[in-house]
Amino acid sequence: MAQQKKDAPIGMFDSGVGGVSVLREAMEMLPGEHFIFYGDTLHAPYGTKTREEVLQLSCSVAEKLISMGAKAIVIACNTATSAAAQELRQTYSLPIIAMEPALKPASALHKDGYVLSLATPGTIRGEKYQQLLQKYGEGVESLPCPGMMEFVEKGETDTESLHRFLTDLFAPYKGKMPEAIVLGCTHYVFLKRAIQRHFPGVPLIDGNEGTVRQLKHMLEENDLLAEEGSVGGVTLLSSGDPDAVKLMEKLMNSKE
């Protein structure tokens, strides 16, 4: 039975395709694991929905992944983490690993300027983000970015319409460059090159690696890590347009 549990897949979900950025990191760090990635593209974006709506959607997706035999769940979405991580941990006994906006590592780069934190309105409103802001928020300017993740959902990571959007979004900050930029949404990782075009040379920090390290730690702690020599893999699923799976595959092979 223990062997079977170790061989079980890891469930991972996001409001859309952005969590593929976490999936890529996980597949690299844990090559023996099988992942089921579920993009809730039918209900994207989560970032502009109410906490109650996101909670309901997140619980529904988690239940689906658990019914497919998941041995652990990774919430590859900062907005869903804020709304649902605590509830999911109270409901289920399996490891629940959640995202965390990278305010802590960004704070190490803060000196006498400011750190620009990009996130969805839902993430910024969330209790988790506000707690991090209290601990590591000195010099942080939080910028809600409604509409930004939708460019990734459409496969637009380097278009003129995206750059016009970013030009307007970043206009108030062009006078003084930030010391670092926090990518507080998993979708934004796929916009690194576009963001760098507006802030050349500024470090871009995301929470993906830290999340995957926590996943590995939790698997080890619960004796759920795949046996050495296991061959991993991935199953990509979408609640919406089947073309979303093709976009996920494209993003998995992209280089920011």
Structure tokens at 214: 């926590």
Q: 138 pairs with which residues across the strands?
A: none
CB neighbourhood size of 223 (10 A): 9
Q: 235 pairs with which residues across the strands?
A: 36
Active centre residues (catalytic): 77, 185
